[in-house]
Amino acid sequence: MKAAILVFPGINRERDMARALKLVSGKEPVMAWHADSKLPKGTDLVVIPGGFSYGDYLRCGAIAARASIMNAVRAHAAKGGLVLAVCNGFQIACEAGLLPGVLMRNAQLKFLCKEVHLRIERSDTPFTQRYNAGDVIRVPVAHGEGNYVADAETIARLEGENRVALRYTAPDGKLDPAFNYNGSTNSIAGILSEKLNVLGLMPHPENHVDPIVGPTDGRRLFESLIETLEAA
Partner 1 sequence: MKARVIVTLKTGILDPQGKAIEGALKSLGVSDVHSVRQGKIFDIELEAGDKAKAESKLKEAAEKLLANMVIENYRVEIVS
What does the binding site for partner 1 look like in residue numbers (CB under 8 A)? 58-59, 62-63, 66, 95, 100-102, 104-109, 147, 149-151, 183
Question: Which one is catalytic: 34, 117, 204, 208?
Answer: 204
Q: Are 153 and 168 in contact (CB under 8 A)?
A: no
**Among residues 40, 26, 18, which one has the least CA distance to residue 223?**
26
Catalytic option among 14, 34, 76, 87: 87
CA gap 44, 150 in Å, rounded: 29
Tell me 186's DSSP state. G
CB of 91 to partner 1, least distance (A): 11
Q: How far is the CB of 198 from partner 1 (least distance, A)?
A: 17
CB-wise, 45 or 96, nearer to partner 1? 96
Minimum distance between the CB of residue 61 and partner 1, rounded to whole angstroms? Answer: 10
143 annotated active-site: no
CB-wise, 153 or 172, nearer to partner 1?
A: 153
Q: 41: which residues sit within 8 A by CB, 6+ positions away?
A: none
Say whether 204 is catalytic. yes
Pairing status of strand 188-192 against strand 164-168: antiparallel
Closest to 225 measured CA to CA, from 151, 128, 147: 128
Distance CA 94, CA 104 (A): 11
Least Å distance, CB 112 to partner 1, is 13
Question: In terms of CB distance, is 61 or 218 closer to partner 1?
Answer: 61
34 included as an active-site residue: no
Which residues are catalytically annotated?
87, 204, 206
